[in-house]
Amino acid sequence: MQAHTAKYVATSRLFVEVGVGASWGVHTLWPEPGVTLDTISVTEQSTGLTYRAAPAYTQTSTDPKTVRASASYVTGSHFAKFGISERFGRNIAVSNTDQEMTYRFQNGSVPRARLEGQLIAAGALRRSRRRR
């Protein structure tokens, strides 16, 4: 991260300050060795533990920039300060969710499963397995 600030005393009563800042970062979540993209993710709802695989794999890069400026005016017994701050930049996220299903267990049983974005009740899941 880089940041620069400049301060300027214009008069005995007026003080001006400006600053800029920039940073850059990348966050990546890819499968661990031995985990394929079609491995089904399992979350135990009672503990919040996710295992076997992540629900999605992502790479996010950011480059936010910040600018700010302020002016202070001081008299013998009063003062006023005015300023502005702005943040802008890019946030690029790439997500890969190749597995079409995730499981959520509640104390070891399957109360619901998600298949291609549709929520399936456990009873419907058991019935569909019997038909095969």
pTM of the predicted model as reported, rounded to 2 decimal places: 0.50
Does 129 score more than 50 pLDDT?
Answer: no
85-107: per-residue pLDDT in tens? 999 998 888 877 666 778 788 88
118 touches 101 (CB < 8 A): no
Beta bridge partners of 58: 29, 95
In the structure encoding, which two tokens stand for residue 93, read together?
Answer: 């996220």
The string of pLDDT tens digits covering residues 25-48 is: 888 888 888 888 788 888 888 898
Distances (CA, A) of 48 to 18, 105, 106, 126: 45, 10, 10, 24
